[in-house]
Amino acid sequence: MNYHSLGEFVDRLESKNELVRIKDHVSPILEITEITDRVSKQSDGGKALLFENVEGSNIPVLINAFGSFKRINIALGVHDIEKIPRDIDKYLKIKPPSSLLEKVKLLPMLLEAAAFPPKIVSAQKGSCQEVVLTGNDVDLGIIPILQCWPNDAGRFITFPIVVNRTIDKKLRNVGLYRMQVYDKKSTGMHWHIHKDGAHFFHEFKKQGKVMECAVAIGADPAVCYSASAPLPYGIDEFLFAGFIRKSPVPLVKCKTVDLEIPASAEIVLEGFIDPSEMRLEGPFGDHTGYYSQDGDYPVFNITAITHRKNPIYLTTIVGKPPQEDFYLGKATERIFLPLMRTQLPEIIDMNMPAVGVFHNLVIISIEKRFPMQARRLMSALWGMGQMSFAKTIIVFDHSVDIQSNKAITEILLNEIDFTRDLFLSEGILDVLNHASDKALYGSKLGIDLTNKIEGEEETRTKLESDKNTTLPLSENILEKFTELTSCKILEQKGLHQVAFATLEKNYQQQGSKIIDRFMSNNEFSSITILVVLEGHENINDTSTVLWKILNNIDPKRDMHFFGNRVGIDVTCKTGEDGYTQHWPDEIEMSEKVKNIVDQKWKNMFHES
């Protein structure tokens, strides 16, 4: 099913019992975030939420609209997301016709493809311009923009579909870049250094020219998704949305800038960026689960706000996983697999688990044919578009179901040889990576868990699994290492035995030093993997521990090897030699807001 507007999508969600209308009075300052965070943490992603009575605005707020596998399928008009990569594969594998009959067979596909490019429609068909506000009437205050987390610098537009063009107007970019509200007519434009929007902006800055921008808030679901998709440079996101919709995206010309925006958008902001004007933006509670650091970013000056007569404000929150962005990311994982295979045909499957927040962990399975193929693959991925941000890549054989956490864990803990299977590299990292000593780049970890074939190195250090080995008790470890505040030994029958421990850190390199002492103590030699975390961590929550490991380590610096044993220092590195970044605060909602939501919860969701 295709949608002409966000409103049609909302109706569809409601008919499928995937939407909850909340009529209770709520504040856009923190309250909506706390409610949504609780819902999105439910096992199935919870429901989409439509807040109809938001303090300070007459516009309802839609959130968590894409926050489940079921809603992603509904949004993209398929019963199974795998249909979209199959369709992509079909076009990628078109062979040049060698006969008239083959040409005739291609006609249906070519006719379908003719519907993909966007089309310009008249202003009368642009429902996004039913109301036009310019001059002194421009006021972002009419929109119920959220402050998501307590330490955010203010209110942020978090699902803006930002449209701009190259300086020669030959290429269009459509992307999602958060926007901090400064006043009623201006916001920040937070495009990371590696993104196309920043690349376009850099060209305007070099020539000292003003850059026009337009921002659509709330459009049909295919457009919303396509704006988030990591398309190759130069591929038009509206064209991609047309491919998903199997119909062209109608665009209408803006009122005050020379750009086109989706005609059915709910709200549109038009304006410009003067490259000479930069302003402090952030901090912001980001998808890593930590606050991203503040910094100077371009200012978006608004010349017009247009909107439907009765618009819906589409927004999202990010924070500790899983959130709505996880499901959007999983859609990207599935949809872009065929494109990756065009360059790396040995790839069978890919998995980006929630604990890896997209860029911290990528798991791949391959059809292996020659020695060191997994390492070649890792190096190739680290040079490929947004995959180059991946901090950790794990490669398995094609026979492994890498969508199964159980299968992955069993192989990892029973077969990995730390003296042979690890591949350390260096390269660029996501702007939000705070663990490396310097911003934007650091070390990367590759783990080759494919079966070794002729020509590959044998195990360097034998480590036999002994079912009769008696593991130490957590109490023994805490008695010997009094700096530790808690300890948990995982129940694991296999080659590697794992212990999580927490430490109240009082001096530099304390984490690595306690790892050295632990690994040198023969009494605890049966523990082959020791993970040391900050004292406040809950070591009984394994998924949170994994999220912390992936977020908080620079592999080359924080993994300490002792033959086929390893200690991993996950503690804060502020003040330690060589660490030049700011170690951010973890996102936490205030107790006051939690209590307010507690009081409203039962009524909002009609719980008895």
- Contact by Cβ (8 Å): 518, 524: yes
- pLDDT digit string (tens) for 305-326? 999 999 999 999 999 999 999 9
Average pLDDT over residues 409-434: 93
- Contact by Cβ (8 Å): 1, 12: yes
* Percentage above 90 pLDDT, the chain: 82
Residue 270 has pLDDT above 50, yes or no: yes
The confidence score (pLDDT) of residue 463 equals 56
Helix (H, G, I), strand (E, B), or coil: what is residue 355?
A: helix
- pLDDT digit string (tens) for 527-565? 999 999 999 999 999 999 999 999 999 999 999 999 999
* More confident site: 261 or 472: 261
Predicted confidence band of residue 605 (pLDDT cuts 50, 70, 90): confident
Residue 467 has pLDDT above 60, yes or no: no
Predicted confidence band of residue 109 (pLDDT cuts 50, 70, 90): low
How far apart, in whole angstroms, are the C-alpha atoms of residue 564 and residue 528?
7
Radius of gyration of the chain (CA): 26
Average pLDDT over residues 395-401: 97
Backbone angles phi, psi at 423, to 5 degrees: -135, 110
Active site residue ranges = 286
Residue 344 has pLDDT above 80, yes or no: yes
- Contact by Cβ (8 Å): 186, 301: yes
**What CA dihedral angle connects 157, 159, 160 and 162, to 10 degrees?**
130
Average pLDDT over residues 446-453: 94
Give buried/exposed letters for 82-97 (b at 16+ CB in 10 A, else e).
Answer: eebbebbeeeeeeeee
Greatest Cα-to-Cα distance within the chain, rounded to the nearest angstrom: 82
Residue 20 has pLDDT above 90, yes or no: yes
The confidence score (pLDDT) of residue 608 equals 43
Q: Which of 433, 455, 453, 451 is nearest to 442 (CA)?
A: 433
DSSP 468-498: TPPPPPHHHHHHH-TTEEEEEE----SS--E
Q: Which two tokens stand for residue 131?
A: 């109301």
How far apart, in whole angstroms, are the C-alpha atoms of residue 434 and residue 420?
28
The confidence score (pLDDT) of residue 514 equals 96
The confidence score (pLDDT) of residue 200 equals 86
Q: What is the pTM of this model?
A: 0.92
- pLDDT digit string (tens) for 137-146? 999 999 999 9
The C-alpha angle 261, 263, 269, rounded to 5 degrees, equals: 45
Q: Which domains does the chain have, with CATH numbers?
A: 6-94+115-314 (2.30.110.10), 324-448 (3.40.1670.10), 474-569 (3.40.1670.10)
Predicted confidence band of residue 110 (pLDDT cuts 50, 70, 90): low
Say which range, 80-94, 242-256, 433-447, has the weakest mean pLDDT.
80-94
Say which range, 247-261, 431-445, 454-468, has the weakest mean pLDDT.
454-468
The confidence score (pLDDT) of residue 423 equals 94
Angle between helical axes of 221-228 and 237-245 (0-180°, round to 10): 140
3-state DSSP of 541-604: CHHHHHHHHHHHCCHHHHEEECCCCEEEECCCCCCCCCCCCCCCCECCCCHHHHHHHHHHHHHH
Predicted confidence band of residue 459 (pLDDT cuts 50, 70, 90): low
- By DSSP bridging, strand 566-569 and strand 529-534 are parallel
Say which range, 66-75, 190-199, 272-281, 458-467, has the weakest mean pLDDT.
458-467
Predicted confidence band of residue 385 (pLDDT cuts 50, 70, 90): confident
357: left (phi over 0), alpha (psi -120 to 50) or beta: left
Predicted confidence band of residue 299 (pLDDT cuts 50, 70, 90): very high
